[in-house]
Amino acid sequence: MTESLVADTPINLLDLVDDGPRPDAAPGIRPRRVYIETYGCQMNVADSELMAGILTRQGYDAATGPEDADVILINTCAVRERAEERVLGRAATLNGHKKERPDVLLGICGCMAEHLRETIHERAPFVDLIIGPDAYRRLPALIEQAAGAEEHELAIDVRLDKAETYEGLTPLRRDGVNGWITIQRGCDKFCTFCIVPFTRGRERGVPPREILRQARELVAQGARSVTLLGQTVNSYRYEDVDFADLLRAVAQVEGVERIRFTSPYPVDFTPKLIEVMASEPRVCPYIHLPVQSGSDRMLKEMRRGHTIAEYRQLVADLRAAIPNLALSTDIIVGFPGETDEDYQRTVELIEEIRYDFAYLFKYSERSGTYAHKKLPDDVPEAVKGSRLSRLIEIQEAICLEKTTPYVGRIVQVLIAGESRKSEHDWVGKTDTFKTTIMPKVPGSEVGQIVSVQVEEVTSHTLKGHIVTRDESITS
Ligand code: 5AD
């Protein structure tokens, strides 16, 4: 299984919809061109859209690729070491553009900027800009500073700011059909393995007025599905508004056909939230509910704040309240001290819960975390590897078992775009987040929700044909 939380596709600003005036774009002067490449979680994708919004309003234009960019920004992830290594490799490759055109500026943004701020000048001395996740408002000023700087002088801003919610800044959206809205920044949970509280700072909720403004704006731009984002999204609170209140409010925004959220923290899943999910038809019956391990001992060491029995009860409550609920999870194997016995508990858990899919990771020690300081990374790499492969094998079989009953069913699919494999096919998602491929039919188009009869499945994909079309198809 791939680590599909890692977005491999670089974002090209040209794919984004320009939604605002660019006050500084003086007539006759070619605006500076920027290229943003994104790694990591959906929140990074949303942050790149935020940066693109800030820069276009300052007069910047989209580059078609790094080769015609004046400013190249890499938005990065620090959650596992491998993610960082990939970015450093990519930065070295992009440095080739600076060698050809010395005025080009190269920046590292996001979590890695925060994590490697002290060593980055050694590991990637050619980088001109280092910008942490709370400094994006100052991005234009930092670019100006770097442009005027002496060689090897770094423009850097990695201050974390517990008041920054980027209120009032409209992201430049990438995807027409699905819109991301960041509702919470930072994290206060301090799971012992996780670097996020250190790279993104303290948890803060975005004001509901801003979230609703963005939801309405997304609909106006053609989005039909909205995903609310936060590190522990259901811990959201802003004054007396909690996540359940917010979810209901967004689900009622005119034109939002589907609403999802990621990633919830099990402990903060309240009965009130389950009730909202069960009673709001536009909230999708799909939850990504990270568990990390099937062993109570490991959960305690990870400081997840719950036991397996409590998690199991939560899943039972969710399944009882929400028919046809699809579930996915995150699991780490090889956390410090994990024995064969602990690992076996994880195997048993995935066999018991039967997730629709799972993102499976080998533990990666991250400096600054509690685990790095106190818990030796003592599971040998080969053991981590074999535990991971076996889990992947078991989960793959469960994935297929989960998609098989779809054969013969009619599902509602939101068409997201053309299939990568054929210009004759659409690709879209069911409300349970299953990728579905179907041949285009006259009158069908991106953004429609169509009824699809499923004919065949693989472990991750449904294939079928459109049987009826919703009222918005006019031909
Ligand atoms: N090592 C391996 N996986 C990690 N994750 C977070 N930190 C680490 C780490 N140090 C995983 C968790 C989390 C997902 C986003 O990444 O499973 O839920």
Average pLDDT over residues 290-294: 98
Centre of ligand 1 from the C-alpha of residue 290, in Å? 10
304 lines ligand 1 (CB under 6 A): no
Q: What is the pLDDT of residue 449?
A: 96
Q: Is the peptide bond before 451 cis (omega within 30 degrees of 0)?
A: no
Centre of ligand 1 from the C-alpha of residue 79, in Å? 6
Minimal-distance CA residue to ligand 1 atom 18:
330
Query: Binning pLDDT at 50, 70 and 90, where does residue 395 land?
Result: very high
Q: What is the pLDDT of residue 30?
A: 63
Residue identified by tokens 């064969």 is 340
Single-letter code of the amino acid located at 391: L
Q: What is the pLDDT of residue 12?
A: 40
79 lines ligand 1 (CB under 6 A): yes
193 lines ligand 1 (CB under 6 A): yes
Residue range 170-204, pLDDT digits in tens: 999 877 899 999 999 999 999 999 999 999 999 99
388 lines ligand 1 (CB under 6 A): no
Query: What kind and span of H or E run contains 439?
Result: strand 435-439
More confident residue, 470 or 8: 470
Q: What is the pLDDT of residue 399?
A: 98
Q: Are strands 184-185 and 178-182 parallel, antiparallel or unpaired?
A: unpaired
231 lines ligand 1 (CB under 6 A): no
User: Can you say whether the dihedral through the CA atoms of 121, 122, 126, 130 is positive or negative?
Assistant: negative
Q: Give the count of beta carbons closer than 10 Å to the beta carbon of residue 401.
A: 12
Q: What is the pLDDT of residue 470?
A: 52
Q: Length of the chain, please? A: 475
334 lines ligand 1 (CB under 6 A): no
Atom of ligand 1 nearest to the CA of 365: 10
Average pLDDT over residues 409-421: 97
463 near 433, Cβ under 8 Å? no
Centre of ligand 1 from the C-alpha of residue 11, in Å? 23
* Gap between the Cα atoms of 392 and 471, Å rounded: 41
Residue range 357-385, pLDDT digits in tens: 999 999 999 999 999 999 999 999 999 99
5 lines ligand 1 (CB under 6 A): yes
CA angle 195, 196, 197 (to 5 degrees): 100
Minimal-distance CA residue to ligand 1 atom 7:
194
Minimal-distance CA residue to ligand 1 atom 12:
330
Delineate the domains of the chain, giving CATH numbers in brackets.
8-157 (3.40.50.12160), 176-284 (3.30.750.210), 292-405 (3.30.750.200), 407-474 (2.40.50.140)
Site to substitute for ligand 1 among 41, 187, 193, most atoms within 8 A of C-beta: 193
366 lines ligand 1 (CB under 6 A): yes
80 lines ligand 1 (CB under 6 A): yes
* Gap between the Cα atoms of 200 and 215, Å rounded: 24
Residue range 40-62, pLDDT digits in tens: 999 999 999 999 999 999 999 98
The share of the chain scoring above pLDDT 90, in percent, equals 87
| Mean pLDDT computed over every residue of the chain | 92
448 near 470, Cβ under 8 Å? yes
Query: What kind and span of H or E run contains 245?
Result: helix 243-251
Q: Is the pLDDT of residue 21 over 50?
A: no
Q: What is the pLDDT of residue 122?
A: 87
Find residue 182's DSSP bridge partners.
Answer: 229
451 lines ligand 1 (CB under 6 A): no
Query: Binning pLDDT at 50, 70 and 90, where does residue 409 land?
Result: very high
Task: Indicate the range of 88-97, 115-124, 344-353 predicted with least confidence.
Answer: 115-124
Query: Binning pLDDT at 50, 70 and 90, where does residue 153 land?
Result: confident
Q: What is the pLDDT of residue 5?
A: 31
Q: What residue ranges in 25-104 does DSSP mark as E strands?
A: 33-38, 61-62, 71-76
Q: Is the pLDDT of residue 16 over 70?
A: no
Nearest to 187 by CA among 120, 235, 133, 254: 235
* Gap between the Cα atoms of 31 and 61, Å rounded: 6
Atom of ligand 1 nearest to the CA of 366: 10
* Gap between the Cα atoms of 356 and 100, Å rounded: 48
Residue range 218-238, pLDDT digits in tens: 999 999 999 999 999 999 999
Q: What is the pLDDT of residue 95?
A: 95
Element counts in the chain: helices (H) and strands (E): 14, 21
Nearest to 229 by CA among 259, 258, 257, 254: 259
* Gap between the Cα atoms of 178 and 254, Å rounded: 15
More confident residue, 139 or 30: 139
Centre of ligand 1 from the C-alpha of residue 165, in Å? 24
Residue range 68-115, pLDDT digits in tens: 999 999 999 999 999 999 999 999 999 999 999 999 999 999 999 998
Q: Give the count of beta carbons closer than 10 Å to the beta carbon of residue 402.
A: 20
299 near 307, Cβ under 8 Å? yes
Distances (CA, A) of 25 to 28, 32, 33: 9, 9, 12
Centre of ligand 1 from the C-alpha of residue 80, in Å? 7
Single-letter code of the amino acid located at 362: K
Minimal-distance CA residue to ligand 1 atom 14:
330
Task: Indicate the range of 119-123, 259-263, 331-335, 443-447 predicted with least confidence.
Answer: 119-123
Q: Are strands 357-362 and 435-439 parallel, antiparallel or unpaired?
A: unpaired
Q: What is the pLDDT of residue 37?
A: 97
Atom of ligand 1 nearest to the CA of 5: 15
Query: What kind and span of H or E run contains 178?
Result: strand 178-182
155 near 145, Cβ under 8 Å? yes
